Amino acid sequence: METLQQIAARTGAYKPDAYLPIYQRLFEPVRFMPLTLLELGVLQGGSVKMWEAYFPYARIAGLDLDPPELPLSDRVRVFAGDQGDTRLLAHIAAEVAPDGFDIVIDDCAHIAKLAKASFWHLFDNHLKAGGVYCIEDWGTGYWPTWPDGGRLVVQPDSGRRMPSHDVGMVGFVKQLIDELSAPEIREGVDAPEGRASKFSEMQLYDSVCVVKKAAAELTRPVSKAASHSAERSGPLCASRRCASSHGPGNDVRRARSSAGSAIPVSGQRPSH
Ligand SMILES: C[S@@+](CC[C@H](N)C(=O)[O-])C[C@H]1O[C@@H](n2cnc3c(N)ncnc32)[C@H](O)[C@@H]1O
């Protein structure tokens, strides 16, 4: 069976070599499931063709300002438009994944304002609980030559402040860490927790950020005791690796935040 790397080489996906093992690890356990996937940014179509071959039972959508004509199967649709156009994103979801996407990959403009608009619209409205949202090339925020990037200026720590780079895509990804930390946004260790995070986990790699959506019910504040019974497993939790990380022996954060895609996307969500 072909690996993702082999397929990428064959289809001409425009993905740095370092990204493919990340996706291979993440997606191999669910490769043969009837998933729905949206990729923002199609270029010549190499990655859309790659996902089509890698996920033989998935329904796949691509979006690009200027998509090419591609010979694709009827499992794949490619749309023309802007990633920041939330009405278009809603239209794509209604056409391809009315129950929500399992996987969204943003390999598009890599401009923070646009990436953030797409992220929150798709995450809140069109990503299944337990689904994953991958943001590529967030390292552009460190590039002085990138439209909204900038050179890292190391500022000295002062007192409690540990300043860090907050430019462009780097700043956006660091804002996502604030969302991950929502329960800790409270007065102190004995104070009630803040609301539950909308994220069950975030994985950060050099230039790839993977966010996993929590179960809808967990995006409301929950007590620590209640959180222990909140374990579920959905399509993207189907791996042995994931299954073995679930269970009573795990810490509160993981129990509180694990997700299940069986929970309707229409569940109540806090505003951000
Ligand atoms: C890095 S390429 C995509 C590569 C492709 N995913 C692959 O792996 O083969 C980025 C694409 O995003 C598209 N793009 C840039 N800004 C966009 C925007 N605001 N809305 C939609 N597409 C955009 C460009 O036209 C370009 O084709």
CATH of the domain at 209: 3.40.50.150
Domain presence at residue 169: yes
pLDDT category, 215, cuts 50, 70, 90? Answer: confident
Answer whether residue 261 is part of any domain. no
The pLDDT value given to residue 220: 42
Beta bridge partners of 204: 209
Contact of 131 with 102, CB cutoff 8 Å: yes
Rounded Cα distance, 50 and 41, in Å: 13
**Cα–ligand 1 centroid distance for 82 (angstroms):** 10
Tokens of 203: 């994985």
Q: Domain total for the chain?
A: 1
| Pairwise CA distance, residues 56 & 59, whole Å | 9
Confidence of residue 247 (pLDDT cuts 50, 70, 90): very low
From ligand 1's centre to the CA of 124, what distance in Å? 22
Six token digits for residue 70: 């591609």
pLDDT for residue 110: 98
Cα(67) to ligand 1 centroid in Å equals: 9
pLDDT tens, 105-130?
999 999 999 999 999 999 999 999 99
Q: Is residue 146 assigned to a domain?
A: yes
Any atom of ligand 1 within 6 Å of the Cβ of 15: yes
